[in-house]
């Protein structure tokens, strides 16, 4: 009898995320990673074109991150963070505050991107309660938003097939236009518009007035909702409106943080500082789950009181896990020492040069590039911009075609994107774009 493979064993006992277990193709048995590549049990080499769900930045199995992890494991693997502290948590907070947009002074740790957002929503709600304005309990978020899979993060996310089964659990979040220029909600053209779409956010803030606690956005790049790249003027406008209406601006930089958009943080594109910022994914270089929610001193101070009910009663067993913090510190060091931002800017140039010509293909509606992310929005009709949705088979079909060629991509329906670790080379990028072009021209889309 032959021994069952890893995939056989997986199929017998594991349930995968975002996967229809009845019909999905077998999972890829990945046994090793090195640099921008993943290796399968049966010896295939795959270029990681999605940075392993947008988390990896320095490449897989990085020697310095490995060493930091091993060294920390030998010292202290974990300790409760209520009532205790430890060097990696403090070092990391100091280093984060040194690179975050100005005005952010406190770091609250959690486990992942969704909890970083959940913490932000809870902090904002209690901030207003503690300040004697408990009516400010609602949020404004944008169309096409994705903020995670916990209940608060789902509530803030766009109503979609991701959230619909859970709608009875979700709370109401007011929604305003996103600056999706290719499909402008107002039918305008970016070349001639004045970011009129911001008006919708202002209307929401006017309409709901003192009921609003904060505005939650994914600055510059809305990810899972369609890889939508913003004009920086919209981001500047969000800050302006939050100031004008006296509400908190919450930046979900879970995807965009740590260089992904070509700046350390996407808020820098418009030189704005949010009142609260959410971080995860590349925070640990993509090694370990860790979330961080950083706030301004004003937010922090609203929780300081002799009245203990004003305490922020929130925490997770693995808050500020020392292993994750130690790797995050090493990741920031590697980021600095290897000139990661320069690499992302180079990558941006290669992506523009290689992907822009694809815009003329009949199946391509728009090519968008920001930092280390290249996006190709596919359409079934260029004139009407009609497109297949997330559930259409185009995504899985494309994924399978790229896999055959040794490229791991995971299109969001008709939104094809390439988001590799920053260590990807110019020739690897050119190769990946060649695969994209070949598949798009040969796929009969």
Site of interaction with ligand PLP (CB under 6 A): 112-114, 117, 146-149, 218, 223-224, 252, 254-255, 280
Tokens of 148: 């995670």
Shortest separation between residue 17's beta carbon and ligand PLP, angstroms: 9
How near is the Cβ of 118 to ligand PLP at its closest, in Å?
9
Q: Any catalytic annotation for residue 18?
A: yes
Q: Which is nearer to ligand PLP, 104 or 117 (CB)?
A: 117
The CB-of-112 to ligand PLP minimum distance in angstroms stands at 4
281 classed as catalytic: yes
Q: Are 236 and 246 in contact (CB under 8 A)?
A: no
| Given the residues 8, 18, 42, 438, the one annotated as active site | 18
Closest chain position to ligand PLP (CB): 113
In the complex, the smallest distance separating the C-beta of residue 192 from ligand PLP, rounded to whole angstroms, is 30
3-state class of 109 per DSSP? strand
Helix residue ranges, H only, 131-268: 151-156, 198-208, 232-245
For the question of residue 159 being annotated catalytic, the response is no
Give the C-alpha separation, 241 to 230, whole Å. Answer: 17
| Selected catalytic residue, list 37, 109, 127, 146 | 146
- In the complex with ligand PLP, the residue whose CB is nearer, 252 or 377, is 252
- For ligand PLP, give the closer residue by CB, 178 or 440: 178
User: Which residue, 148 or 421, has its beta carbon nearer to ligand PLP?
Assistant: 148
**Quick one: 52 or 105, whose CB is closer to ligand PLP?**
52
Return the number of the residue (415 or 440) whose C-beta is nearest ligand PLP. Answer: 415
Question: Cβ closer to ligand PLP: 95 or 410?
Answer: 410
Task: Indicate the Cα dihedral angle 6, 10, 12, 16, nearest 10°.
Answer: -170
By CB neighbour count within 10 A (0-12 exposed, 13-18 middle, 19+ buried), where does 23 fall? Answer: exposed
Q: How far is the CB of 150 from ligand PLP (least distance, A)?
A: 7
Minimum distance of ligand PLP from residue 442's CB (angstroms):
30
CB 415 to ligand PLP: min, Å: 13
Nearest distance in Å: CB 168, ligand PLP: 21
Token representation of residue 83: 């009532």
CA nearest 234: which of 177, 185, 195?
Answer: 195
| Nearer to ligand PLP (CB atom), residue 280 or residue 321 | 280
- Give yes or no for a contact between 303 and 126, defined as CB atoms under 8 angstroms apart: yes
Q: Which of 270, 284, 160, 134 is nearest to 213 (CA)?
A: 134
Least distance CB 171 / ligand PLP (angstroms): 17
Please state, in angstroms and rounded to a whole number, the distance separating the CA atoms of residues 137 and 117: 15
Alpha-helical (H) ranges within 57-134 are 63-75, 87-99, 113-130
Task: Give how far Cα 381 sits from Cα of 184, 189, 366, 378, 445, Å.
Answer: 17, 19, 12, 9, 10
Closest to 237 (Cα-Cα) out of 186, 200, 208: 200
Nearest C-alpha neighbor of 312 from the set 293, 329, 330: 293
> Measuring CA to CA, which residue among 310, 319, 220 is closest to residue 272?
220
Q: Where are the alpha helices (DSSP H) in 246-373?
A: 297-301, 322-337, 340-355
Closer to ligand PLP by Cβ: residue 282 or 401: 282
Q: Give catalytic status of residue 180 as yes or no.
A: no
Alpha helices (H) in 306-355, listed in sequence order: 322-337, 340-355
Of the candidates 37, 281, 287, 417, the residue annotated as catalytic is 281
Bridge partner residues of 377 (DSSP)? 366, 415
Cα–Cα distance, 420 to 64 (Å, whole number): 19
Active-site annotation holder among 48, 111, 252, 275: 252
Cα gap 27→17, rounded to integer Å: 11
How many Å apart are CA 326 and CA 329, to the nearest integer?
5
Catalytic annotation, residues: 18, 146, 252, 281
């Amino acid at each position: 009898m032959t021994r069952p493979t890893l995939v056989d064993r997986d199929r017998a006992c594991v349930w995968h995320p975002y996967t229809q277990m009845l019909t999905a193709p077998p999972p890829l048995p990945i046994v090793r990673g090195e640099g921008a590549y993943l290796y399968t049990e049966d010896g295939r080499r795959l270029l990681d074109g999605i940075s392993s769900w947008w988390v990896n930045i320095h490449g897989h199995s990085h020697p310095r991150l490995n060493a930091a992890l091993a060294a920390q494991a030998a010292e202290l693997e974990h300790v409760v963070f209520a009532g205790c502290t430890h060097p990696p948590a403090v070092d990391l907070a100091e280093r984060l505050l040194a690179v975050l947009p100005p005005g952010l002074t406190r770091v609250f740790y959690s486990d992942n991107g969704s909890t970083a957002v959940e913490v932000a929503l809870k902090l904002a709600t209690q901030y207003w309660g503690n300040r004697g304005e408990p009516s400010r309990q609602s949020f404004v978020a944008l169309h096409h938003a994705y903020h995670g899979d916990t209940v608060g993060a789902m509530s803030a996310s766009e109503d979609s097939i991701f959230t619909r089964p859970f709608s009875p659990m979700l709370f109401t979040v007011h929604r305003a236009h996103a600056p999706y220029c290719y499909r402008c909600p107002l039918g305008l053209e970016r070349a001639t518009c004045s970011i009129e779409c911001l008006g919708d956010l202002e209307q929401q803030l006017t309409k709901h007035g003192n009921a609003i606690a904060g505005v939650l956005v994914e600055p510059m790049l809305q990810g899972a909702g369609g890889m939508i790249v913003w004009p920086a003027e919209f981001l500047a406008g969000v800050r302006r409106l939050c100031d004008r209406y006296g509400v908190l601006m919450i930046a979900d930089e879970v995807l965009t943080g740590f260089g992904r958009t070509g700046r350390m943080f996407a808020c820098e594109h418009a030189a704005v500082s949010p009142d609260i910022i959410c971080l995860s994914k590349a925070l640990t270089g993509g090694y370990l789950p860790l979330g961080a929610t950083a706030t301004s001193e004003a937010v922090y101070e609203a929780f300081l009181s002799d009245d203990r009910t004003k305490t922020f009663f929130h925490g997770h067993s693995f808050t500020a896990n020392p292993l994750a913090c130690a790797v995050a510190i090493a990741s920031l060091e590697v980021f600095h020492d290897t000139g990661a931002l320069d690499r992302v800017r180079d990558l941006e140039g290669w992506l523009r040069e290689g992907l822009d010509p694809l815009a003329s293909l009949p199946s391509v509606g728009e090519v968008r590039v920001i930092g280390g992310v290249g996006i190709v929005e596919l359409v079934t009709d260029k004139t009407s911009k009609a497109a297949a949705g997330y559930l259409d088979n185009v995504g899985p079909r494309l994924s399978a075609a790229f896999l055959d060629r040794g490229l791991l991509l995971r299109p969001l329906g008709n939104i094809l994107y390439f988001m590799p670790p920053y260590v990807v080379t110019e020739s690897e990028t050119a190769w990946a774009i060649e695969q994209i072009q070949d598949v798009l021209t040969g796929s009969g889309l």
